[in-house]
Amino acid sequence: MSNPDPSKMKQDCPEKNECLKMLQLILDGEANSEQKENFLKNHLEECMPCYKNYHLEVAIRQLLKTKCCKDAPQELVDDIKTKVIKNLAS
């Protein structure tokens, strides 16, 4: 994924919920290669909210991995996801 030009990106995503689901599939390793490529190389290059969400989710996951000696408890992961989605929806 390259660094897209923010001035050329959409500032709102009409498919926000579907994109959040796809983002989770990709980061959980559950998306197939076509889904992953389409989302990362096409959609993120033109959609600022999804671009930011992707990088936020990656940062959260990396932080959790460095702060937890094991996998983060699923309850914690779910709680963080819920809060992030609430903040994105507002």
Domain positions in the chain are 14-89
Amino acid identity of residue 5, one-letter, is D
**pLDDT for position 90:** 61
10-residue averages of pLDDT along the chain (90 residues): 71 87 90 91 88 88 76 80 76
**pLDDT for position 75:** 87
| pTM score, whole prediction | 0.67
Distance CA 62, CA 69 (A): 12
